[in-house]
Amino acid sequence: MTFENTRDSFDTQSRDASGKVVRVMVVDDSLTARTVLGKVVDRTDDLSLVGTASSAEQAIGLLDTVVVDVILLDLEMPGMGGLAGLPHILEKSGGAKVLVVSSLTAEGAQETISALSMGASDVVQKPEPGQFNAEYRADLAKRIRALAGAPVSASFEQAADESARKVDEPELRKAPNKSVDCIAIGGSTGGIHSLVQFLGKLPKSIVTPIVVTQHLPNAFIPIFASQVETASNRPTRIAEDGMELKRGEILVAPGDGHVSFVRDGARAVVKITHEAVASGCCPSVDPMLATLGEVLEGRVIGVVLSGMGRDGQNGAKTLVENGGIMVAECEETSAVWGMPRGIAEAGLASEIAAPVDLAHWITRRTAVAV
């Protein structure tokens, strides 16, 4: 078996301000894709291409000889294929993060969402002819750094946003003792795997309505909603204008708008909005948390799971100011501790824990109110 191994180039890579070089492997059966993705890594000072493989089987074998931080993985390959190989790659890579390379269209969405549910951390656009430009290179490098826990940019004012540096133990906010009319969940990079774990431990006896905002391309949302329904064993719908919260059901934000809520008499109903938000995300977690906090007068538990950036922090502040409760995923289980870190460092969280433990915590909080 022959591998394309560039491990010898590792020591020649220059480093960013943090001194960290991110070790990357590219797994794709297309020579063109391997070449394009490999060039992005080779031309970025703080990234090092330690190996490439044209199949999942080759990647698994190569992991015996190299140490990797991030693996770029195509799912559609001859032989075992990326999806079937993913559990073996995750197990053998010693904690490396997997970045799925996808067309970001409805075709292949099922496999991509399945991979994200199984433990892949993020998805990136598969390079098309002529797409190898500065914007594409910058976005890919940013995603790789975030997954590896390296600073996103040495010049950006939040350069250490996704860094691996330890912070002081955040102080927890005392949770108000009140009924809960909704559980609102937000996530991004790594958030789908965390969400599946969370929902899997939330008992069916909890019939509190659930709303989910997950950063995903719009073409992926129907498949994502189906995965959520399976993981939660609850009816799940994509949110549309005029829908109302229903006990025992889940609403999922569409991929091309923010799910917000307005008061219609005694009902809290959905209003899909498209305003610009501070995070630049669409859909954004901020409008969901802020409007639910206002419309339901704080009878909400907000959950922020793994994700890059600070989306959700502004909305969480509004929710808490209205008497709501916020919890966040801990650093140890987050693929990227960005979004939950924003909640924690702002002093908005009443609990910071792994997804399964957050589910147990919420079960205890809502048991009386259900």
Q: Which amino acid is at 130?
A: G
pLDDT in tens, 232-284: 999 999 999 999 999 999 999 999 999 999 999 989 999 999 999 999 999 99
Residue 132: predicted pLDDT: 65
Interval 47-75 mean pLDDT? 97
CATH 3.40.50.180 occupies which residues in the chain?
A: 182-366
- Residues of each domain in the chain carrying CATH 3.40.50.2300: 7-148
pLDDT confidence tier of residue 169, bands split at 50, 70 and 90:
confident
For domain 182-366, give the fold.
Rossmann fold (3.40.50)
Q: What single-letter amino acid sits at 279?
A: S
Q: What is the pLDDT of residue 358?
A: 98
The question of whether 274 is a catalytic residue gets the answer no
* CA nearest neighbour of 289 among 234, 367, 235, 342: 342
Q: How far apart are CA 277 and CA 361, in angstroms?
A: 30
Active-site residue, from 102, 121, 188, 232: 188
What count of other Cβ atoms lies within 10 Å of the Cβ of residue 309? 23
Q: Is 160 a residue whose pLDDT tops 80?
A: no
Return d(Cα 334, Cα 281) in angstroms, integer: 19
Active-site residue 215, yes or no? Answer: yes
What's the distance, Cα to Cα, between the start and end of the chain in Å?
58
Give the mean pLDDT of the chain: 89
| Mean pLDDT along residues 22-36 | 94
**Residue-level pLDDT at 168:** 64
8-state DSSP, 196? H
Measured CA distances, 322 to 42, 157, 368, 370 (Å): 49, 30, 21, 21
Checking if the pLDDT of 202 tops 90, the result is yes
Q: Which of 96-110, 143-157, 166-180, 281-295 has the highest mean pLDDT?
A: 281-295
Q: Are strands 258-264 and 267-273 parallel, antiparallel or unpaired?
A: antiparallel
Give the per-residue pLDDT at 77: 95
pLDDT at 57 over 50: yes
Please name which of 341, 292, 281, 285 lies closest in space to residue 321, comparing C-alpha atoms.
Answer: 292
Residue 343 carries which DSSP code?
Answer: H
Sign of torsion over alpha carbons 287, 293, 296, 301: positive
Alpha-carbon gap, residue 27 to 301, rounded angstroms: 40
Determine the average pLDDT of the residues in 160-185: 76
Point out the catalytic residue in the list 16, 46, 122, 311: 311
User: 102, 126 in Cβ contact below 8 A?
Assistant: yes
List 93, 122, 215, 286, catalytic entry: 215
Q: CB-based contacts of 194: which residues, under 8 Å, 6+ apart?
A: 187, 305, 306, 329, 333, 334, 335, 355
pLDDT of residue 3: 35
CA 180, chain centre distance (Å): 25
For residue 159, name the pLDDT band (cuts at 50, 70, 90). very low
Higher-scoring residue by pLDDT: 201, 7: 201
- Residue by residue, DSSP assigns 136-192 as HHHHHHHHHHHHHT--S-SSSTTTTTT-----PPPPPPPPP-----EEEEEE-TTHH
13 vs 292 pLDDT, higher one = 292
Pick from 110-114, 153-157, 346-350: least confident: 153-157
Q: Would residue 46 show up in a list of annotated catalytic residues for this protein?
A: no
- pLDDT at position 207 is 95
Chosen CATH of 7-148 out of 3.40.605.10, 3.30.70.1560, 3.40.50.2300, 3.40.50.360: 3.40.50.2300
CA pair distance 116, 107, nearest whole angstrom: 16
Question: Is 80 exceeded by the pLDDT of residue 200?
Answer: yes
Task: Name the band, by pLDDT with cuts 50, 70 and 90, for residue 222.
Answer: very high
